[in-house]
Chain A
Amino acid sequence: MTESNKLPSGRSRIDSLEMRGITKRFPGVLANYKVDFDVKSGEVHALLGVNGAGKSTLMKILYGLYHPDEGEILLNGKPVTISSPKDSIHLGIGMIHQHFMLVQTLTVAENVALGLPSSRGALTDLDRVSKRILELADIYNLKIDPSAYIWQLSVGQQQRVEIIKALYRGAALLILDEPTAVLTPQEVDELFVIMRQMVKDGHALIFISHKLHEVVEISHRVTVLRDGRKIGTRLTSETTKQDLANWMVGREVGFVPDRGKVEIGEIRLKLERVVCGSDRGTPGLRGVSLDVHSGEILGVAGVSGNGQRELAETITGLRKVTGGKVFLEGKEITNLAPGEITDRMLSYIPEERMRDGMIKDFTVAENMILREHHKLPYSRYGFLNLRGISKHADDLIKQFRVKTPSQETHAKNLSGGNIQKVVLAREISRNPHVIIAAQPTRGLDIGATEYVREQLLVERRKGAAIMLISEDLDEILALSDRIAVIYEGQIMDIVPRATATPEKLGLLMAGVHP
């Protein structure tokens, strides 16, 4: 028994971990109520639930970031107290967080090395860490440059850093809180290969995702939370995707959005040979030309980090255009201030909504008027009109089913998916003429995803020109009228939906002309 008790990393394995009767209250919210949850060595236990169901809260309790109001945690049958991440790390628990826990101004290697003992004592051993990162990256097929700064990386790359960080530390029990939300299907496959290997080696894994096919594919057991309560646990082999969906939401959910027929109108957004730099100092866009028409959704497909961020930022005025021109409804807007562009009724749903889309310490209501705060009915003569703001917030909370104790709650206290909804609600509800939507359904549960897609189609019907930037090919294929594929800062091709297939797009995304 002593031999098999060890993991390849040399750590002792965690045979079983059990959370019993966990209750956690936040002001106005019962985030977890008498939840029992357990995971064993050698299994993937998936945790499901709609946005705000209490998944992350339960996991943060396990990791020592929150303290439960009631309940206990047993490790290999013995009760343990976990009062900080230090304790959980010590016990062999690791966590990949839904909101990245990365220091933007440090390099990948520094982020990985942070908090670990160094082989050189008081001095950092970044060379060694970098070497080891490259080894891991090689073994697990996760491309990453250890010397890159986090702020230079795309979200997908940042997710890879989070994964590497966890692998590097070699926890016996690893919590993966929505690690796949920002990964491409290929990357998800790679991650699953890693996870399967870890399971075989005797790790215990907890996996959270809103993508049911992933859950079905990777997990052994599934537990569903709803409104903070545990609804039940089942063996994955005994359920189907549709079962899980219904079980989770508590009603039947369909999957196919209705696109309907819409007349394509005039050109609303036009890019002419746009060139710009990137945060890494390398070229970001290398002569991009595009049109988006009224009543049309133009999908922009591509592997993350190929110029998507730069594309959105040049249009919205957040990044300097160094060559070429941008037109909005026939008027040039190249390098105008973001505020001016916004006022011409361009909406922007940024990819990194936590960072670029909202202010964490503002209330939900305040976040909902960030773009229009200077206009009626939210303000008059420079004074805020609180009644108008409050009514607006109430409406949006209802329409978008934002789960929040009140409109006065600080945005940072919402669940991940509900934070996304606040941004989406704000951007979509202002009757924009043009919408730039980057990964709009990332992190949303199936119900919310459905709703947001419907809303984009509604805006399209109303005549908006929509640019949908997404790495999710299913989403692109479900919504777009035409699909542009971006690769290394250039548009490889623009194909009509009718002739687009995942295979064809996949090749283009890899930079190959079929």
Chain B
Amino acid sequence: MISDLFSVTVLVGILASGIRLATPYLYAAIGETFSQRSGVLNLGVEGQMLLGAFAAFYVTLTTGNLWLGLMTAMLVGALMGLAMAYVTVNLQAQQGISGIGFYLFGLGMSDLLFQKLMGTVETVKGFPKIHIPGLSDIPGIGEIFFSQNILVYGAYLLVPIAWFVLNKTTLGLKIRSVGENPDAADSLGVNVGRIRYFTIILGGILSGVAGASLSIALLNVFQQNMTSGQGFIAVALVYFGAWRPTGVLGGALLFSLINALQLWVQVLNIPVPSEIAVMMPYVLTILVLVTSVSKVRAPSALSKPFEREN
């Protein structure tokens, strides 16, 4: 039976599934990468995703306009980011705890709105698969790479963009310095608070898109708590990826591909207990993490509020 795993159908299936499953992780984790690189630990990602997912879904359901839905999710994420930024930058709150606060807020709020505004699970027509004549029809490759929806492509496009912004722009330089040594950045006239506002809000927007990618692109339903901890896994992926967009991509793909593989292992009736199968993505990802020696440390100022001593 194990030999069944090595057929073209299965391989194509795993790759296509893995690419899709990684999509929300990528948005959320790249957003988190930005905020962590600037020294802010945002544990509210899950809450932002949930509210984003709801906002996108509800607006799409009522207006029929997917782009409006997506933009609403971004707006909702931005607003949550703004609130988070106020609490962490101005009030200098303990970031871990306030992040959990924002998670609970997003969880509760999305649920409440769902109850009041919808009342039952419904479906929408989400972003369609993009059909690229010619390319989409190539057997295998076409299904994996050329017939996904636009938000999937967006997630992968985001990786090089994030890399570029962080490493090649003056903004990226400021972000990195603020997360590493805010005193030094401050002494050179960099506005530490403003940079952190920017990254937290950006993180919020991307988390909102992550939620939208579930509710109006990949699944096209909204259900309470539908993100199911993905926001927290996204935070973990930032650590896995050593705070680099490419590392995050690697982690997200690894985790998702193993998850897709795991689904196939069960479907093909390969005699592995289901409890073991569903643990595989977690176990293998941790295994890769501990065996690959990486010298990269967390940004030195991560989760430390900045205050000019006075």
Q: Check whether chain A touches chain B (CB < 8 angstroms).
A: yes
Where the two chains meet, the residues of A that have a C-beta atom closer than 8 Å to any C-beta of B are 63, 65-67, 84-86, 89-90, 95, 97, 100-106, 110-111, 113-118, 122-124, 412-413
Within 8 A of A (CB), among B156-209: 168-174, 176-177, 180-181, 183-191
Interface residue tally for chain B (C-beta within 8 Å): 24
**Contacting pair A104 B173 (CB below 8 A):** no
Do A85 and B170 contact each other (CB < 8 Å), given the known contacts A67-B310, A103-B176, A103-B180?
no
Contacts of B186 in A (CB 8 A): 65, 84-85
**Contacting pair A123 B185 (CB below 8 A):** no
**Contacting pair B169 A123 (CB below 8 A):** yes
Bound-state CA distance A105–B184 (Å) is 12
**Contacting pair A103 B170 (CB below 8 A):** no
Residue with the greatest number of chain B CB neighbours at <10 A, chosen from A67, A124, A412: A124
Closest to B183 in A: A101
Does B116 sit at the interface, judged by CB under 8 A?
Answer: no
**Contacting pair A85 B188 (CB below 8 A):** yes
**Contacting pair B171 A115 (CB below 8 A):** no
Closest to A118 in B: B170
Closest chain-A Cβ to B290's Cβ sits at a distance in Å of: 20
Contacts of A67 in B (CB 8 A): 310
Where the two chains meet, the residues of B that have a C-beta atom closer than 8 Å to any C-beta of A are 168-174, 176-177, 180-181, 183-191, 300, 308-310
Bound-state CA distance A103–B187 (Å) is 11
Closest chain-B Cβ to A359's Cβ sits at a distance in Å of: 14
Closest chain-A Cβ to B304's Cβ sits at a distance in Å of: 9
Contacts of B172 in A (CB 8 A): 124
**Contacting pair A95 B187 (CB below 8 A):** yes
Contacts of A65 in B (CB 8 A): 186-187, 308-309
Bound-state CA distance A189–B300 (Å) is 35
Closest chain-B Cβ to A39's Cβ sits at a distance in Å of: 20
Contacts of A114 in B (CB 8 A): 173-174, 177, 184-185, 188, 190
Contacts of B169 in A (CB 8 A): 122-124
Bound-state CA distance A85–B219 (Å) is 50
Bound-state CA distance A402–B173 (Å) is 39
Partner of A101, one of B174, B187, B308, B310: B187
**Contacting pair B300 A104 (CB below 8 A):** yes
Main secondary structure of the interface of A (DSSP, over half): loop
Bound-state CA distance A65–B310 (Å) is 8
Closest to B171 in A: A122
Closest to A117 in B: B170
24 sampled A-B residue pairs with Cβ under 8 A: A66-B310, A84-B189, A85-B187, A101-B183, A101-B184, A101-B188, A102-B184, A105-B180, A105-B300, A106-B176, A106-B180, A110-B177, A113-B173, A114-B173, A114-B174, A114-B185, A114-B188, A114-B190, A115-B189, A117-B170, A122-B170, A123-B168, A124-B168, A124-B172
Bound-state CA distance A103–B175 (Å) is 12
Closest chain-B Cβ to A178's Cβ sits at a distance in Å of: 15
**Contacting pair A85 B184 (CB below 8 A):** no
Closest chain-A Cβ to B242's Cβ sits at a distance in Å of: 12
Closest chain-A Cβ to B38's Cβ sits at a distance in Å of: 13
**Contacting pair A124 B180 (CB below 8 A):** no
**Contacting pair B190 A115 (CB below 8 A):** yes
Residue with the greatest number of chain A CB neighbours at <10 A, chosen from B173, B191, B308, B309: B173
Bound-state CA distance A124–B300 (Å) is 23
Closest to A165 in B: B188
Contacts of B183 in A (CB 8 A): 101
**Contacting pair B309 A104 (CB below 8 A):** no
Contacts of A103 in B (CB 8 A): 176-177, 180-181, 184-185
Contacts of A106 in B (CB 8 A): 173, 176-177, 180
Closest chain-B Cβ to A11's Cβ sits at a distance in Å of: 15
**Contacting pair A86 B191 (CB below 8 A):** yes
**Contacting pair B170 A113 (CB below 8 A):** yes
**Contacting pair A102 B181 (CB below 8 A):** yes
**Contacting pair B308 A123 (CB below 8 A):** no
Closest chain-B Cβ to A177's Cβ sits at a distance in Å of: 11
**Contacting pair A124 B187 (CB below 8 A):** no
**Contacting pair B309 A413 (CB below 8 A):** yes
Bound-state CA distance A413–B171 (Å) is 31
Contacts of B191 in A (CB 8 A): 86
**Contacting pair A123 B170 (CB below 8 A):** yes
Closest chain-A Cβ to B188's Cβ sits at a distance in Å of: 4
Do A124 and B310 contact each other (CB < 8 Å), given the known contacts A86-B189, A104-B181?
no
Closest chain-A Cβ to B128's Cβ sits at a distance in Å of: 34
Residue with the greatest number of chain B CB neighbours at <10 A, chosen from A65, A95, A115: A115
Contacts of B188 in A (CB 8 A): 85, 89, 101, 114-116
**Contacting pair B174 A104 (CB below 8 A):** no
